[in-house]
Structure 1
Amino acid sequence: MGACSSGKQSFEKGDYDRAVYQAVNRLQKDPNNKKALTTLQQAYRYAREDHQSRIKNAINSSEVFHWETVVQEYESMNSLIESVSRCPTCRQIISTEDKYQEQVEKAKEKAAEVRYTLGVKLLSENNRQSAKEAYQHFERADQFIPDYKDVRQKLNTAYQAAILKVVVEPVEIEKGIYKLSNEYFQNKIFEYLQHYEEKSFIKFYTPQEARSKTLVPDHVLSLSFDDFVVGQTYLKEKEQEVSRDSVKTGTVEGKEVYGTVKAKYITFEKTISSSGLLDLRVMDWKSKNTLTQEKMPGTFVWRDEWATYKGDERALDKEQKKKVKRRESPNPAPQFLFVEFTKPIYNQLTRKIESFYRKY
């Protein structure tokens, strides 16, 4: 509906920019639409006056980031001009030669300078929180003017000062048959931590990396299984009498004989349970205080069902016959069971890490 509008309603509501865009869209489809032509002339003049008024107010303002408002307003006016320039009919009544590119560049220069100066001041305070804020200011300056002064170098300096260094002590399991599965579990954790680094000021290191870089960590995150059990097997057997009436059992003197057939139906259910309890602890390296600690349980139960019978098969229903055809499945490998019970632990662990380090 907006694409078909002449823009008059938006104009009457004081939304002059929207009125211009709607009028342009209408004139591109219907160049002779008088209502849209009138709206475009009036709305463009009012929109331009409003933007220029906001630019003047922003320049005279004491607000720290007022040049960013100036940039935004000039870019909004340039967007209006670009829209008009793509419409031949519109260009006949609105000049598209007076774009404000020079004004935009000058305002961006001043906006970048403000952000850069704030970043330098914060960086000189030599603390992690100020370095984080400085990084954000340098990043914003670089967005306004790419490679502004030595902003790339300042970004790197601020990032290095802002990162929280965390050494992650992985789970160590001596039992040989679980070694491969434990490596899979640990690799999943480190993949998550590497992804987390990309969107934060936290950097995680293995103990080997920390030693090779001779770095002093801020935190030590340790993981250990308090206990785990893999492959506890339980077999449940259930026996029941089943029967079916009105089943043909034979013939007597040429006549079919019907009666009740019976069978003893035996079901087997085998479950193999595996579980463990992972301890997560984050310690402050300098004070040696525990910052957070949590136990995370995980359980996986593998099930297998099959059945057999004694007696007349016709006494069994469809589902019972289907289960009778099944045979006992081989037990899954211990490595598979280990991986499966660690999956819910992994989900808890990643949520906890994200929640805890969000404040850093």
Structure 2
Amino acid sequence: MFRYLPILLAVVLFSCKSGEKLYNQGRYGDAVEAFVKKLQRRPQDATSLQLLPKAYEAAMDYHESRAKQALASNNDLKWEAVRTEYRAMQALYNAIRSSPAANSVVKPKDYSTAITGAQENAAEARYARGIQLLDEGDKYSARQAYEEFNAALRLAPNYKDAEQLREQAFQMGLVNVVVSEIDVRSPYFQFSADQFRDALVRNLEQRRINSFVKFYDERYVRGDRDFRPDQYMEMRFYDFVVGQTYVDRSQREVSKKIAVPGNKKDSVVYITVKATLFITRKTVASSGVLDYRITDVGNNRVLRQNRVPGSFTWQNQFGTYRGDERALSDEDKKLMGGRDIPPPPPQDLFLELTRPIYDRLAGELQSFYNQY
């Protein structure tokens, strides 16, 4: 136990010196907390008992002055600054009350009621700003109003009807984007195109690109008379070719030196073995370009337009050989083990070529709607 005594004494001395140092640096609030911690360990510490009242008075003067300065300003949000100062003084009150020795030399002021009043006033200021913004009647102001009502509720939960007004502001600030059915010019691929569109709408919703932007599948809102879209995103595939097949046949000679037993016992001789490979490479190339355009429904203005290319190549190789199998490499043997298989059906090829289109389109839309 005694071996830890020097360490304990060093901690105590450091605590005392650190409190004095903070006080001398003008960091009165930190000094109060340091002195209180010291008195919790050593209630009779003379330095802490002497400097704590001075540090507390100086800290109170500082925060009271800042609170009065904030109150005298014309800033709509001054009560939030006042609350910050009151909270700082309340923290000093709580610290001193936690130590009987500190409480014996300082009678701290309780600011809990003042904090409640400041929060109510701060919430009212945010609420009033929200009402004013909501009266502007445009989407941008509605989104700002939403943030103001949100701030009011953080300051004072259940404040007046701020929760209902926040929801109203949210609905007013929403940008409803209808994603059209995709024109692919060929009914054969319509089902695959619908799958592409369904996946895109789901992904855009899951990404939560912007809380004030919501995407809808055209099929599900077409008959809703109460629904009012703000933007319309039209998509169309151009110049797409699915299942263009190419067959390439080639042959090549291969050879390899191998060791074989000689005529004499335990002897080895090297011979060259040869084979001719006949390779068939079947390639099915698919490509296409998706044109998309986002239009403002109110004024029919094009907000964004671009074309996104995509491609997919399916390939199968197989072969036969004539000659000595020992001349084949491991890769050659894999080709020889292959077989002629049919390519995927056109619908699957269409989905594959849309994957790179999908990824790029989703990225472009996220970048575009991040500005809202």
Distance change in 2, residues 1:205/1:39 (3 Å): farther
Q: After the TM superposition, which residues 96-175 of structure 1 pair with which residues of structure 2 at under 5 Å, given as runs? A: 100-173=111-184, 175=186
Q: After the TM superposition, which residues 18-37 of structure 1 pair with which residues of structure 2 at under 5 Å, given as runs? A: 31=41
Alignment correspondent of 1:229 = 241
88, 93, 98: which one aligns with 2:102: 93
1:353 aligns with 2:365: yes
Which one-letter code corresponds to 1:248 in the other structure? A
Matches of 1:39 and 1:343 in 2, distance apart?
Answer: 74
1:286 aligns with 2:298: yes
In the alignment, structure 2 segments of 5+ residues that lack a partner are 1-10
> Does the aligned pair in 1 maintain the 2:184–2:238 contact within 8 Å?
no
Distance change in 2, residues 1:21/1:294 (3 Å): farther
Is 252-261 or 102-111 further displaced after alignment?
A: 252-261
Matches of 1:183 and 1:196 in 2, distance apart?
Answer: 20
- After TM superposition, the score normalised by the length of structure 1 is 0.79
In the alignment, structure 1 segments of 5+ residues that lack a partner are none
Q: For 2:102, what is the secondary structure of its paired residue?
A: coil
Which one-letter code corresponds to 1:344 in the other structure? P
Alignment length, in residue pairs?
351
Distance change in 2, residues 1:244/1:196 (3 Å): closer
285, 289, 293: which one aligns with 1:277: 289
Q: For 1:93, what is the secondary structure of its paired residue?
A: helix
CA-CA distance at 1:38 after TM superposition: 8.7
Is 100-109 or 249-258 further displaced after alignment?
A: 249-258
Q: For 1:213, what is the secondary structure of its paired residue?
A: coil
Matches of 1:341 and 1:38 in 2, distance apart?
Answer: 79
Matches of 1:263 and 1:40 in 2, distance apart?
Answer: 99
Alignment correspondent of 1:311 = 323
> Does the aligned pair in 2 maintain the 1:54–1:73 contact within 8 Å?
yes
> Does the aligned pair in 2 maintain the 1:197–1:204 contact within 8 Å?
no
Matches of 1:164 and 1:209 in 2, distance apart?
Answer: 15
Matches of 1:51 and 1:308 in 2, distance apart?
Answer: 90
1:205 aligns with 2:187: no
Q: Give deviations 1:123-169, integer Å, cap 9, x for gaps.
A: 22222222222222112111111221111221222223222333321
CA-CA distance at 1:58 after TM superposition: 1.5
Q: Which has the larger radius of gyration?
A: 2
> Does the aligned pair in 2 maintain the 1:19–1:39 contact within 8 Å?
no
Which one-letter code corresponds to 1:288 in the other structure? N
Q: Give deviations 1:173-231, integer Å, cap 9, x for gaps.
A: 57565344333211222113434668332333344415313444332211111232222
> Does the aligned pair in 2 maintain the 1:307–1:324 contact within 8 Å?
yes
Distance change in 2, residues 1:40/1:261 (3 Å): farther
182, 191, 194: which one aligns with 2:202: 191
Matches of 2:208 and 2:312 in 1, distance apart?
Answer: 30
Which one-letter code corresponds to 1:71 in the other structure? R
Matches of 2:362 and 2:263 in 1, distance apart?
Answer: 74
Matches of 1:113 and 1:45 in 2, distance apart?
Answer: 32
Is 185-194 or 304-313 further displaced after alignment?
A: 304-313
Q: Percent identity?
A: 35
CA-CA distance at 1:79 after TM superposition: 5.1
What is the CA RMSD across the aligned residues, in angstroms?
3.8
> Does the aligned pair in 2 maintain the 1:71–1:107 contact within 8 Å?
yes
Matches of 1:282 and 1:238 in 2, distance apart?
Answer: 49
CA-CA distance at 1:242 after TM superposition: 1.9
Matches of 1:135 and 1:353 in 2, distance apart?
Answer: 24
